[in-house]
Amino acid sequence: MSHELVQLLVPIACGCVLPIVGIMMGVRQKMNETNKQTQIVLAAIEKYPDMDIEELIKKISPKKKLLKEKLLNKLLWGSLVTFLGIALLGAALWIDCMGGMIPGVLHMIYLGGFILFAVGIAFLINYRIGRKMLAKEIEAEERKIVES
């Protein structure tokens, strides 16, 4: 009974609860950042009422990532996730050749490896296509940075 319950609850926790908790933590972090910025702006207004608020907000707000940085981030994650998928598939194949695991669990390892490999390849394809499509925008951003 308890083994069957665990088999039921683990996928539910990984598929439902974990993403919800991740989203909640992300929203909470954004709210904290916004509250900190608001406190800084209010303190600055109290001390220096004639200060340019827009300039202060620009200085304290986080910098936007450049297109090149975003593309390089996709390349990094694509390489990492593809490598993890290949490693998991290799480990599953090795375990399968040795014959030392329950077939249902081994199939889950194969499935996880294939999913990681596919997601990594998708990131790499996204990087290649993005690099070609956004070449002019990346050059414009770089020129803008050099000029300022």
End residue of a domain, out of 62, 82, 106: 62
Residues 124 and 58 in one domain: no
CA dihedral of 83, 112, 103, 87, whole degrees rounded to 10: 10
**Pair (18, 49) in one structural domain:** yes
The 10s digit of each residue's pLDDT in 31-42 is 998 888 888 888
For the chain, percent of residues with pLDDT exceeding 70: 99
Q: Would the pTM count as exceeding 0.75?
A: no
Higher pLDDT, 142 or 92: 92
93 and 53 housed in the same domain: no
Sequence-separated contacts (24+) of 24-33 with Cβ below 8 Å: 33/62
Residues 56, 32, single domain; the answer is: yes
Residue 123: Cβ-neighbour burial (10 angstroms; 0-12, 13-18, 19+): buried
Residues 6, 32, single domain; the answer is: yes
Is residue 85 located within the same domain as residue 55?
A: no
**How high is the pLDDT of residue 1?**
58
Residues 136 and 72 in one domain: yes
Give me the domain span that covers residue 115: 64-148
- Cα–Cα distances (Å) from 64 to 21, 69, 101, in that order, read 25, 10, 48
Q: How high does pLDDT run on average in the chain?
A: 85
Half-sphere exposure of 59 (CA within 13 A, CB side): 8
Last residue of a domain, one of 9, 27, 62: 62
Torsion sign across C-alpha atoms 11, 91, 121, 138 = positive
**Within 10 A of 15 (CB to CB), how many other CB atoms are there?**
9
Contact 57, 42 (CB under 8 A): no
Query: Quick one: 40 and 76 in the same domain?
Result: no
Whether 102 shows a pLDDT value over 90: the answer reads: no
Residues composing the chain: 148
